[in-house]
Amino acid sequence: MLQQIREIYKSLAEFEKRFEETNRVTVNEALILSVIKGRSISASQIASEVSMTPSNASKTLKNIEGKWLIERAVGAHDRRQMYFKLTAEGESLLNRISFNRIDMDERLERLLVR
């Protein structure tokens, strides 16, 4: 069983590497972009929706912001709260992301097709 888990982990790591090479964002960054799409959303909401720790979500948001794919705004009612939305470039990138262009290991593909 551990050998199978290790093989799945290796397959996932390879997929993540190819995904980033193809799309110029990591899988986690793409997940966050997809959660933000079409709305202005707080960092805590993002972390909750993608099942990340607030710390990990914050680091990932900073990386995405550095790529000019999102912008932040101070909350209207609570100036301590930050909200994020996609830039035009972020929207365009998200629309171009294609999982189909990336070859997957058959073990990983079987897990995703279930």
16-75: per-residue pLDDT in tens?
998 899 899 999 999 999 999 999 999 999 999 999 999 999 999 999 999 999 999 988
Question: What pLDDT does 97 receive?
Answer: 86
User: Per-residue pLDDT tens for 93-112?
Assistant: 998 886 556 666 676 677 66
The CATH number of whichever domain residue 76 belongs to comes to 1.10.10.10
- Structural domain count, the chain: 1
Contacts of 13 (CB under 8 A, 6+ apart): none
